[in-house]
Amino acid sequence: MTKHTVTYGADFLAVAEATYPNGRSMSYSGPTFHEFMALPVRTARFAFANNWDNLPSTMGGAARLLILEPNGAFGPIVFYAVLVARPTGPVVEIAGFEEDRAYWDTFVDPDDPDD
């Protein structure tokens, strides 16, 4: 089994920083950028590094996806990565993600009169 070096694409980081603020405020109480990088991204990074060949492939063999189940404050997330040729050898670059941010809204709260 090949272990790959994993990096983050510029677009991935830009979207992640725009989606998850650096801190909480009176108007935002969701997960932070640090929590996103430490929890689901860390899991994705490990999977892409250690299990690349067994992950579902898109666009032939150069791209893979990883689906993470809901965990903590994060709904289901799909991560996309591509195998990039570099002078030092192939590197996996996490290129994007999609999170179902409305996932938790699908559950009925018996204590909430609006549900």
Domain range annotation of the chain: 5-101
Tell me how far CA of residue 94 lies from CA of 27, 50, 72, 113, 114, in angstroms: 30, 14, 22, 41, 39
How far apart, in whole angstroms, are the C-alpha atoms of residue 77 and residue 100? Answer: 7
Query: What does CATH list as the number for 5-101?
Result: 3.30.2310
Look at residue 109 in the predicted model and tell me its pLDDT: 74
Look at residue 17 in the predicted model and tell me its pLDDT: 97
Element (H, E) at 25: none
* pLDDT tens for each residue of 56-72: 987 667 899 999 999 98
Residue % of the chain over a pLDDT of 70? 96
Q: Is the pLDDT of residue 7 over 80?
A: yes
Is 0.85 surpassed by the pTM of this model?
A: yes
- What integer is the mean pLDDT of 26-44? 95
